[in-house]
Amino acid sequence: MTDLFQQAVLVSMFAATIRIAAPLLLVSIGELVVQRAGIWFLGVEGSMLMAAFVAYFSAVSSDSLYVGLLAGMATGVVVHLSMAIAAVTLKINQFVTGLGINLLASGLTLFLYRENLRAYDSGHIPTVTPFETVPITGLSQLPILGEILFDQHLFTYFAFAMVGVVWAFLYRTRFGLEIRALGENPKALDTKGLSVSRRQYSALAFGGLMAGLAGSVLVLALTDRFVPGMTGGRGWLAIVIIIAGNWKPLPVLAAVLVFAFLEAFQIQAQGVGVQIPYQLLLALPYIGAIIVMMGVKVRSEQPAHLGVPYHRE
């Protein structure tokens, strides 16, 4: 292999890392805010999957990517808010509810997918024309870095920007202080007359927007169609990422990049025909998740009140 070829492989692998990171980053940043607000939401996988499903069929039937995008984001918000009703208002066990949302999403999307396909010619699965990348003038011409960082989808730039936005929100605004306090001791807000549930609803709505966007990006930018179960554990990885990132935005970004790299590596390795069973490559992120969890011991920022419904007395 020539050096030039090796360089091309590496560049495309890193570019793929950044591209693949986008949906994972979006969903993780959303879940970060949700967990900081004290809600332990395990249904992100389902929320993303539903959003991807709705985004796909809306885009196909309206022939507009933007309609699909909006519908996908709205779906994420609706699913997350149903968690808010269950967990915040009705105070149902958060673990079971999150799990139920995942199972409902996978069952419903599979069934509806099969039924919806009947509307199209047999054997012909409709596709969308995915969003194009948007090179940033000037920066994208940079050697190597330009191709890796600055010839990406708009969503990718947005996802990375959101890390900074959420960081600033959590640590530099009064609302962020309140959200952080919520996960630690909601009574500290309640006794000052500040509504706990309104803030938790808001946090979940934001999480839903991010998960909805992430699901939409999967079908509208990274591929061109919906496949049942296509989120493939990304929602669960988001939960691993938040633990590994110790509930802090920048370490969460780092963890996202690690998992995105594993996936990019897997695609690249399959592409160049490495002599490893492809199933092992596919399983890499999941094996990686367990190994990461074995290594990460710091849980200092885990919200003390995470997953505990708030009751007055």
Q: Residue 114 carries which side chain, given as an amino acid letter?
A: R
Quote the least distance from Cβ 14 to other proteins, whole Å. Answer: 25
Q: Is the dihedral of CA 57, 23, 13, 15 positive or negative?
A: positive
Quote the least distance from Cβ 211 to other proteins, whole Å. Answer: 17
Quote the least distance from Cβ 112 to other proteins, whole Å. Answer: 8
Q: Which residue has the tokens 């970060």?
A: 32
Contacts of 229 (CB under 8 A, 6+ apart): 49, 106, 110
Nearer to other proteins, 101 or 221 (CB): 101
Nearer to other proteins, 181 or 269 (CB): 181
Angstrom distances, CA of residue 113 to CA of 44, 79, 100, 226, 272: 20, 18, 19, 9, 33
- The tokens for 297 are 């011991």
Quote the least distance from Cβ 261 to other proteins, whole Å. Answer: 17
Nearer to other proteins, 145 or 276 (CB): 276
- The span from the CA of 27 to the CA of 103, in Å, is 18
Residue pair 304/39 in contact by the 8 Å Cβ criterion: no
Quote the least distance from Cβ 144 to other proteins, whole Å. Answer: 33
- The span from the CA of 15 to the CA of 152, in Å, is 8
Termini Cα distance of the chain: 69
Quote the least distance from Cβ 170 to other proteins, whole Å. Answer: 10
Summarize as ranges the residues that interact with other proteins (CB under 8 A). Answer: 42, 86, 90-93, 95-97, 99-100, 103-104, 106-108, 110-112, 114-115, 171-178, 180-181, 184-185, 187-194, 232-233, 236, 239-240, 243, 277, 279-280, 282-283, 286-287, 289-290, 293-294, 297, 300-301, 304, 311-313
CB atoms near residue 162 (< 10 Å): 20
Residue 237: name the closest of 79, 16, 20, 76 by CA. 20
- The span from the CA of 23 to the CA of 234, in Å, is 9
Nearer to other proteins, 96 or 144 (CB): 96
Nearer to other proteins, 146 or 228 (CB): 228
Nearer to other proteins, 115 or 132 (CB): 115
Q: Residue 152 carries which side chain, given as an amino acid letter?
A: Q
Nearer to other proteins, 3 or 115 (CB): 115
Quote the least distance from Cβ 92 to other proteins, whole Å. Answer: 5
Tell me, rounded to whole angstroms, the distance of Cα 246 from its chain centroid.
17
